[in-house]
């Protein structure tokens, strides 16, 4: 699992930008107000804990680890691996794949191939793999949902804090000239709520969603490949099928495709 | 049914946090205003009663009981139970399961197995169980909808209360120096509406939604297991199928899986 | 068709609450302003008339009648009726049902059974009944849409009225001390728009939606029952199928279910 | 194509209402401000042009013609036409329909019947007609989307205009007593944006959507009818099928339905 | 690939309009404030980078190229090409198409026909082409998502900037007469956020979405055409099928359609 710090760097850059903007006409210390932070962060967190079963929330920090994980599902490489497995299977039979499974890095592909080698029938394999993909999606979905919900609730608690500040301020207003400072403090929670939502929670939720979609797509490609191997399909047909999952396709760059068309050997 | 008080504790924590925030610069008593509470709570409740048939609303308090119920559908245990039932069925026939049904805690599994033992055909069982799951989902959905709607309407009634306060205040404004106190009172309903929505109603609606989704997923797993037993499938295939519903899968931790692959006994 | 006045009573209660809240610190008469009501109510109604073909809007008042109609589709009773029809059909043949159709109160069940007795084939019956359910849903959907749209447009016209008031007020502002009264009047349309949306239009739209969903569910149950009778299924299987549509199911409370399982007579 | 001016009249009524409301406490001329109108109308139009390929936008005015077109798809008449065609086909063969096609007003029905008479097979007819319906829906959808988008963007540009006005006003504020007039002008663009969205664009988008849904429903009914004629189904079965698309159904009002049930002649 | 500058021109027109509106009562230079632009543009960009894997964001500028590309998928011409290919195939066999593939401009049609000529079976071709379409849609979808997200986040960062400005302003307010200028500067970020969202990001997201939908529709038409050629269908049936994808259809304008109906030669 290679690391990728783009997400973390962008987060740091966003915070530095905000600090810089604050410091142009003011001081960062005047933006640090413990009660304001407490209401916004812990209040919205309490609402998040109410919103989800606790065992789901416990897993949320684990999900965060994904943010520094480089998605190393190189789809191009996976296609090549699957095609070479299909060639081996066509020439030496399905059982010859048994020795290869050990060396497969991608867990989902390894599990898929083991079922193929074990002789499980195609319907069972498809059912098990589809259930796995669905459930992986569901589990990741909860992670996204937690951050999405937090991102939706944080501005609400920011506004609650500002309302508390305003009501206290207006209720005891004797000297109108002091209203400015009170308003500034009251607005701090709105600022925190908006900052948490727009720079942290909503982008993280979107990041997790995009990662899940990419992983589902990759696993569907792997499933189709494994089932095609089991069905004993022509390696070249398998290659074309799997390449339809790749970004730009490769059909055009392959001069031998014309040769292939002359052979007309597809089955 | 074990109890879990996380949800209730988070709710209490949220309220304590809000009270604490109020008391820093003001007094909690100045936030208690009976007419403001009446408009926000009863006004939005009237709108909720208009929104749903009354017999659905009567059931809403029952649904709240779920918030302190620990979801004891231990999926791992359920998988083990179903696999052991499938072993019994393979060795001694479907009728041998009859004695086991009594001891099954999970109602949905017990009902499913009874139909299997009673010799009902697979299509009928699937149809009945799917209808049960759909209707359970529909019934729970109404519960969520009620709290979601309440959470959407509460800020609306909060704003209505604030508008009433503002219009009365501005319409009879003679001494501008008194406007602060009036504004503070007018803003109270906005505060209540936002508090009810963000700390209570919307999180509860989300909690009920997450629970329903988990229960639907568990019941679908049970249905697949029951149908696989009826079809007389190999217990090991059933185990693999059901494990695809579990969080992390178990395939990797089981060294005997390799043994299994050597037997190649799947049917 | 029994009547149920819960919806109307909740509406009345909501208005009384609002009037009471107004009268605490002000007078209800200062909230009555004919031009403000005209802009909000008729302006948003004009936009609703633009939004929908006129013949759909003409039907909207008819739909309102539903709000005082008690949903008398007692699903438990319907299940019993269908099961007794299935018993009659098993013992005396489908034609024996002809005499019973007259006595069936539920129109959809009567129409379904007539097609069964007339010997129409199962595919045609399913197609006709599904089209009926779909089209009933579509027609009711338009009713909901009209109130939902009105509920979305009313606050918009409320804001338009307030903007007109503010622009007129600010454009001719000579004596700042008079601004309060003008603002109060300008805010009235926002108040009306919000009241219409939150207490009347949006709750009514939700109410109609919930009713439609319940009716669709009941009619699907009736369709399944009619088709099961035509297929000559075992009355007890039909009973179990239909009971999966009921709130809590009844399986557990029926001791004879065990007897049934001993007979193993399902076909 | 009969004309229906309800939509146009409601639009005119809405504008008259707004003018009347303005003139109560102010003058209509003070609401006419060319730069404000330019920003709101042309600014949001520029954003609409960016949002859609230009050839789609060119077609938008054509779509507006629909707003004064009375939907003359009298479904009751269409059912009668189709049923009489099915009777003719049963008695004299499919080719006898050829002479009737000329007289069919509804283009979609005429095209469907031509394919039936031309002897095209059922799968091809269904495929072609479904593609036609889908593509008609897609084309109309773009029209709705353009007005919906315009309705979403207009308030945004209204707010942009108000922000420009406010920033200019506040940035050069020397005499606070002049702020009222400047605010009034700044608010004008918000007023225009809200008026365009709530009275014109959003209602028109909804109107087009409702019309498309009605046309899709009618065309699906026609397709089912044409396919039933080709399959040589009993005219009475066809009648019942198509009537399930009609508003209230007619089954109950037809005393001869009982006679029909005695004949039991459905095939 | 012909160019179309409508989108770029509309964007330029929008900016000119905004500059003109600013310059009526103020000066454009007072709207240029580097820190405000930095917070809004770079802050929201940082949040976008957090939201998506970096390799997706790298591709976003490429997608922008599409905005000046005229969609040259002339569907009418494509239909004619496919129909002429089908005539050739009927008269001289599928292999005769091999020489034609070179001359086909549309890449998707060329790839589809190559598979047909290579003798791949219909199910494989459909699967590969559908996967290609799905994955093309997914890839384009990410491009839209990035601009949509940016358009959603920009106003959030605009508001954050305004909050920072307000808090600094109010916290250090000593001379109330200076508040106007500070407010003007604080509102600038809100102005930028709203301008970026409404004139640039949201319209571009919509433009990309509309283009993708059009391309998916065209490719589905090509796929149906290629499969119909492989199945050896009658060229005239193919023509009618594909024409159901065209804007207004052509059936009516073709007098020879009547002749065709006399031949009744469809197979």
The label of the residue with tokens 């809240």 reads C21
**CA atoms in the 13 A half-sphere facing the CB of D11:** 17
The tokens describing A225, both together, are 């490949």
Counting residues of chain E whose pLDDT is more than 70, the rounded percentage is 89
Helix (H) or strand (E) holding D200: none
Highest mean pLDDT among A101-105, B238-242, D147-151: D147-151
The answer to whether B10 contacts A49, with C-beta atoms less than 8 Å apart, is yes
The answer to whether D49 contacts E10, with C-beta atoms less than 8 Å apart, is yes
Mutate which of E33, E76, E197, E210 to disrupt the D interface (most D C-beta within 10 Å)? E210
Does the pLDDT of residue C92 top 70, yes or no?
A: yes
Comparing CB atoms, the residue among D47, D124, D129 nearest residue E199 is D47
The tokens describing E234, both together, are 């009658």
Say whether A69 sits in a helix, a strand or coil.
Answer: strand
The answer to whether C124 contacts D181, with C-beta atoms less than 8 Å apart, is no
SS in 3 state form for E7-25? Answer: HHHHHHHHHHHHHHHHHHH
Q: ipTM surpassing 0.95, yes or no?
A: no
Q: Work out the minimum CA distance from E126 to partner chain D, whole angstroms.
A: 16
Does the pLDDT of residue D205 top 70, yes or no?
A: yes
**Band of pLDDT at residue D266, cut at 50, 70 and 90:** very low
Residue of C nearest to B159 (CA): C194
End-to-end alpha-carbon separation of chain E, Å? 38
> Mean pLDDT across chain B, nearest whole number?
85
The stretch B29-35 carries a mean pLDDT of 90
Torsions phi, psi for C3 (to 5 deg):
-95, 150
Does the pLDDT of residue A251 top 70, yes or no?
A: no
Q: How far apart (Å, rounded) are the C-alpha atoms in residues D141 and D212?
A: 8
End-to-end alpha-carbon separation of chain B, Å? 38
The answer to whether B21 contacts A173, with C-beta atoms less than 8 Å apart, is no
**Band of pLDDT at residue C73, cut at 50, 70 and 90:** low
Torsions phi, psi for A69 (to 5 deg):
-95, 125
Does the pLDDT of residue D258 top 70, yes or no?
A: no
pLDDT of residue D223: 94
Comparing CB atoms, the residue among B206, B247, B264 nearest residue A119 is B264
Torsions phi, psi for D69 (to 5 deg):
-95, 125
Torsions phi, psi for D265 (to 5 deg):
-105, 0
The answer to whether E26 contacts D131, with C-beta atoms less than 8 Å apart, is no
Rounded to two decimals, what is the model's pTM? Answer: 0.87
Sign of CA dihedral C134, C139, C140, C143: positive
Q: Which segment of C53-57, D5-9, E94-98 scores lowest on mean pLDDT?
A: C53-57
Nearest to B2 by CA among B72, B62, B104: B72
Q: Which residues of C touch D266 (CB under 8 A)?
A: 118-121, 124
Q: Work out the minimum CA distance from A148 to partner chain E, whole angstroms.
A: 12
Nearest to E36 by CA among E209, E189, E230: E189
Does the pLDDT of residue B257 top 70, yes or no?
A: no
**Band of pLDDT at residue A94, cut at 50, 70 and 90:** confident
Q: How far apart (Å, rounded) are the C-alpha atoms in residues D39 and B95?
A: 79
Say whether E152 sits in a helix, a strand or coil.
Answer: helix
A187-197: b (≥16 Cβ within 10 Å) or e? bbbbbbbbbbb
Comparing CB atoms, the residue among D17, D214, D244 nearest residue C42 is D17
pLDDT of residue D248: 54
Q: Which residues of D touch E220 (CB under 8 A)?
A: none
pLDDT of residue A73: 63
Nearest to B197 by CA among A163, A56, C195, E155: A163
The answer to whether C187 contacts B172, with C-beta atoms less than 8 Å apart, is no
**Band of pLDDT at residue D264, cut at 50, 70 and 90:** very low
- Give the distance from CA C95 to its chain's centroid: 36
Counting residues of chain A whose pLDDT is more than 90, the rounded percentage is 46
Torsions phi, psi for A144 (to 5 deg):
-60, -45
The stretch E97-114 carries a mean pLDDT of 89
Comparing CB atoms, the residue among D35, D51, D124 nearest residue E24 is D35
Nearest to D115 by CA among E247, E251, E249, E230: E251
Does the pLDDT of residue C266 top 90, yes or no?
A: no
Does the pLDDT of residue C114 top 80, yes or no?
A: yes
The answer to whether A163 contacts B252, with C-beta atoms less than 8 Å apart, is no
Does the pLDDT of residue E96 top 90, yes or no?
A: no
End-to-end alpha-carbon separation of chain D, Å? 38
Chains that touch C (3 or more CB pairs under 8 A): B, D
Q: Is A181 exposed, middle or buried (0-12, 13-18, 19+ CB in 10 A)?
A: middle
pLDDT top residue among A94 and A4: A94
Q: Which segment of C8-17, D33-42, D167-176, E210-219 scores lowest on mean pLDDT?
A: D167-176
Residue of B nearest to A118 (CA): B261
> Mean pLDDT across chain A, nearest whole number?
85
- Give DSSP secondary structure letters for C37-57: HHIIIIIHHHHHHHHS-HHHH
Does the pLDDT of residue E263 top 80, yes or no?
A: no
pLDDT of residue E267: 42
Q: Work out the minimum CA distance from A228 to partner chain B, whole angstroms.
A: 20
Comparing CB atoms, the residue among A53, A131, A156 nearest residue B241 is A131
Q: How far apart (Å, rounded) are the C-alpha atoms in residues C35 and C57?
A: 24
pLDDT of residue E257: 38
Nearest to B55 by CA among E130, D127, E104, C2: C2
- Give DSSP secondary structure letters for A194-208: HHIIIIIIHHHHHHH
Q: Which segment of B103-107, E27-31, E58-62 scores lowest on mean pLDDT?
A: E58-62
Calculate Rg over the CA atoms of chain B: 27
Does the pLDDT of residue E264 top 70, yes or no?
A: no
Q: How far apart (Å, rounded) are the C-alpha atoms in residues A122 and A224?
A: 11
Comparing CB atoms, the residue among A24, A197, A264 nearest residue E118 is A264
CA–CA distances in Å: residue D212 to residues B225, D13, D66, D205, E241: 45, 25, 10, 11, 22
For residue range B159-186, list pLDDT tens digits in order: 999 999 999 998 887 776 778 888 898 9
pLDDT of residue A247: 63
Does the pLDDT of residue A252 top 70, yes or no?
A: no
Q: Do C110 and C104 touch, CB atoms closer than 8 A?
A: yes
The stretch A102-106 carries a mean pLDDT of 87
The label of the residue with tokens 């999966």 reads C244
Q: Work out the minimum CA distance from C88 to partner chain B, whole angstroms.
A: 21
The answer to whether D198 contacts C157, with C-beta atoms less than 8 Å apart, is yes
Q: Which segment of A80-89, A170-179, B192-201, D132-141 scores lowest on mean pLDDT?
A: A170-179
Cα dihedral C104→C106→C110→C111 (10° resolution): 170
Neighbours of B26 (CB within 10 A): 18
Q: How far apart (Å, rounded) are the C-alpha atoms in residues E134 and E136?
A: 6
Q: How far apart (Å, rounded) are the C-alpha atoms in residues C131 and C120?
A: 16
Q: Which segment of A239-253, D17-31, E100-114 scores lowest on mean pLDDT?
A: A239-253
Does the pLDDT of residue D247 top 90, yes or no?
A: no
Torsions phi, psi for B232 (to 5 deg):
70, 30
pLDDT of residue C250: 41
Whether chains B and A touch (3+ CB pairs under 8 A) is answered by: yes
The stretch D111-124 carries a mean pLDDT of 90
Mutate which of D67, D193, D210 to disrupt the C interface (most C C-beta within 10 Å)? D210
Q: Which residues of C touch B164 (CB under 8 A)?
A: 18, 21-22, 26, 191
The answer to whether E21 contacts D172, with C-beta atoms less than 8 Å apart, is no
Residues 6+ apart with CB under 8 A from A58: none
For residue range D135-193, list pLDDT tens digits in order: 888 878 888 999 999 999 999 999 999 999 999 998 887 776 778 888 898 999 999 99
Chains that touch B (3 or more CB pairs under 8 A): A, C
Q: Which residues of D touch E185 (CB under 8 A)?
A: 171
pLDDT of residue E69: 75
Q: Work out the minimum CA distance from A254 to partner chain B, whole angstroms.
A: 38
Counting residues of chain E whose pLDDT is more than 90, the rounded percentage is 45
**CA atoms in the 13 A half-sphere facing the CB of D226:** 31
Strand partners, D3: D69
pLDDT of residue C152: 95
Which residues span the domain enclosing D129? 2-266
How many domains in chain E? 1
CA–CA distances in Å: residue C186 to residues A2, B78, B163, E4, E100: 61, 63, 11, 48, 72
Counting residues of chain C whose pLDDT is more than 90, the rounded percentage is 46
Say how many CB pairs under 8 Å bridge B and C. 153
Comparing CB atoms, the residue among E4, E187, E206 nearest residue D167 is E187
**Band of pLDDT at residue C71, cut at 50, 70 and 90:** low
According to DSSP, residue A248 is labeled: S
Mutate which of D182, D243, D261 to disrupt the C interface (most C C-beta within 10 Å)? D261
pLDDT of residue B258: 38
Q: How far apart (Å, rounded) are the C-alpha atoms in residues B143 and B45?
A: 14
Q: Work out the minimum CA distance from B51 to partner chain A, whole angstroms.
A: 23
The label of the residue with tokens 């989704």 reads B213
pLDDT of residue B173: 73
pLDDT of residue D253: 39
Neighbours of E99 (CB within 10 A): 10
pLDDT top residue among E65 and A131: A131
Residue of B nearest to C250 (CA): B111
For residue range A135-166, list pLDDT tens digits in order: 888 878 888 999 999 999 999 999 999 999 99
Comparing CB atoms, the residue among E11, E187, E247 nearest residue D50 is E11
Nearest to C224 by CA among C241, C200, C247, C201: C241
Q: Work out the minimum CA distance from B92 to partner chain A, whole angstroms.
A: 24
Mutate which of E32, E71, E179, E184 to disrupt the D interface (most D C-beta within 10 Å)? E184
Residues 6+ apart with CB under 8 A from C57: C48, C49, C146
Q: Work out the minimum CA distance from B117 to partner chain C, whole angstroms.
A: 8
Residues 6+ apart with CB under 8 A from C47: C149, C153, C156, C157, D10, D14, D198, D199, D202, D203
The tokens describing B102, both together, are 């009594």
């Amino acid at each position: 699992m290679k690391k990728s710090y783009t997400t973390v760097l962008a987060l740091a850059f966003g915070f530095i930008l905000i600090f810089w903007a604050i410091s142009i006409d003011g001081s960062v210390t005047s933006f640090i107000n413990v009660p304001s932070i407490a209401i916004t962060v812990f209040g919205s967190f309490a609402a998040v804990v109410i919103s989800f079963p606790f065992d789901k929330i416990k897993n949320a920090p684990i999900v965060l680890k994904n943010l520094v994980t480089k998605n190393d599902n190189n789809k191009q490489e996976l296609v090549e691996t699957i095609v070479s497995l299909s060639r081996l299977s066509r020439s030496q039979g399905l059982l010859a794949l048994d020795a290869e499974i050990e060396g497969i890095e991608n867990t989902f592909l390894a599990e898929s191939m083991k079922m193929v080698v074990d002789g499980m029938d195609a319907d069972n394999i498809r059912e098990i793999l589809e259930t796995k993909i669905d459930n992986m999606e569901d589990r990741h979905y909860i992670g996204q949902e937690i951050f999405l919900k937090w991102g939706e609730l944080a501005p609400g608690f920011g506004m609650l804090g500002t309302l508390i500040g305003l009501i206290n301020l207006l209720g005891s207003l004797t000297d109108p000239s002091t209203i400015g400072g009170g308003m500034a403090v009251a607005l701090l929670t709105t600022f925190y709520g908006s900052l948490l939502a727009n720079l942290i929670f909503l982008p993280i939720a979107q990041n997790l969603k995009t990662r899940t979609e990419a992983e589902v797509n990759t696993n569907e490609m792997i499933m189709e490949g494994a089932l095609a191997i089991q069905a004993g399909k022509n390696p070249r047909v398998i290659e074309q099928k799997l390449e339809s999952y790749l970004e730009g396709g490769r059909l055009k760059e392959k001069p031998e495709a014309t040769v292939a068309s002359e052979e007309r050997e597809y089955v």
